[in-house]
Chain A
Amino acid sequence: MASYKFEQNCRPRGDFRIPEIIEFLELVKEAFRRPALYDSHNRPLDLTEAGLRRIFEKAARRLLPGLGANEDFFTIPPDKRDNNTARIEIHTGTDPEEIFIDSYDISMDGAQVPDFDYLEKFIEIFKPFEAYLADDENEYRLDSYNRQQAIPKFDKPAIIRGFHYLDKGMARSIGGVKYCLKAPAWHVEKFCEGVLIELVAGLFDSSNPEHLEIQENAMAYFNLL
């Protein structure tokens, strides 16, 4: 099964967004049916405001001022080396003056991808300017990393993924919400503060030629090829 990463990109606010992170992590536990989440030392996570603030303040000291904090959490203690583990990668607290962004991601195996309803709830918590479920193989095939590097300030999506949310500003960068709603995809709807594009029903599979053709058509429609 392919590897996937659910990514949520937010414009920096300068704070750690602790309340949103607590809500997000509580929902992650539910989505992955786990009683607790763990830190990199295999300790159960203290999902309180004070507990998380302590973690992020410590993590921020490892970076430079203005960069915020990086922290990873796990659905299974990482020392068990269980491939069913999902890793929650959080970068938060970036200074708005910086060129960087905040992100709230989940790396997981394809078999672990939760119901899309949960992904939508995650989006409603953080209200990111962009969120998507990325198939690792597809990302590499389309060189999304370097495409993104060529886009200043993350002003435009690098590619269109199987499950892709764009806020109004991002939607405007590829033709506007109305234009997005007419995209050649399985399902497109207004959602949260923008538009949600689902290229295919269910998980996008980069080994499926039909899925790749649909993606290519959608990217051509948005002039992203």
Chain B
Amino acid sequence: MIITDQQRRWWFATHPEFSSRGRGQRSENYGGSYDQYEDSADSVEAYRRELWRQAIEQDKKGLEPDPHTFLDVAPFGRFITSPIQAFKSALRRLAENTVVSAVKKGKGTGGPGQWVEVGRSRLGLEHQSKMSGQPIRESGGKYHINEYKIPTATRPVYFDDFRDGVLYEYEGSYGKLLNKQKVFYPWVKGAKAARDQAWRQVKASQGVPVVWRVGSHQVKAFNRAIGKIPGLTVVP
């Protein structure tokens, strides 16, 4: 922190762009000039307030205030505005997260089930998280993610996502299990598991459309593997 005059002189010596000769040049961004204010502590404070007001107006328009503008008129402000900016950024991030959380909660309402956190193996979880927007939580070496759960008489059925009245299942890449015709090799054992899941989901969906989102080159493979299940669509 700069306290003594000696330190202040050293600072201006090493930062000529902030010396009095530079005043009024960098502040043009906000339409005012320091030169119109008298060189007193009250004037500097008034000018700073004016800049801050303009910055807020700009901010309302979606533009970021330039924090360096303050440094033109008050070099010491650098040591004040940085934490303010940091605090402001933190508040903004918090606000953004709050909005995103509200959207996440809202998108799954009104359906036949509810969002719950479930434990899953790591395999394919990142793809699911990326597609559904639900974060992965690691706890004690186990991975958890929010999925949309629909209870049934015997066992609950889970979906990766529910939004806009559609239940989604996101499938990762199975490229190594596809033959030249882009369908699963006949020896692939997982086709049955996919069918099982598809049957359960369509039955549990209670008429809500079920969509499986797969890789663009895997639509044919999943269409063929899932077979004849009315109410299930496979899209890239």
Contacts and interface: CB of A to CB of B under 8 A. Distances in A.
- Please determine whether chains A and B interact with each other in the same assembly: yes
A74 B236 CA distance: 29
Interface in B161-201: 179, 181, 183-189, 191-192, 195-196, 199-200
A117 to B, nearest CB: 22
Interface range, B side: 20 to 34
> Which of B154, B204, B229 has the largest count of A CB atoms less than 10 A from its CB?
B229
A170 B146 CA distance: 44
A83 B196 contact: no
Nearest to A102: B228
B196 A64 contact: no
A82 B179 CA distance: 12
B203 A64 contact: yes
Contacts of A136: 181, 183, 220, 224
Contacts, number: 109
A48 interface: no
A67 B186 contact: no
Interface in A24-66: 40, 62-66
B208 interface: no
B202 to A, nearest CB: 8
A171 interface: no
Given A3-B179, A145-B223, A85 B228 contact: no
B192 A100 contact: no
Interface of A: 2-3, 5, 7, 9, 40, 62-67, 70-72, 74, 76, 78, 80-83, 85-87, 89, 91, 98-101, 103, 105, 107-109, 136-137, 139-140, 145-146, 148-149, 152, 154
Interface of B: 152-155, 157, 179, 181, 183-189, 191-192, 195-196, 199-200, 203-204, 219-220, 223-224, 227-234
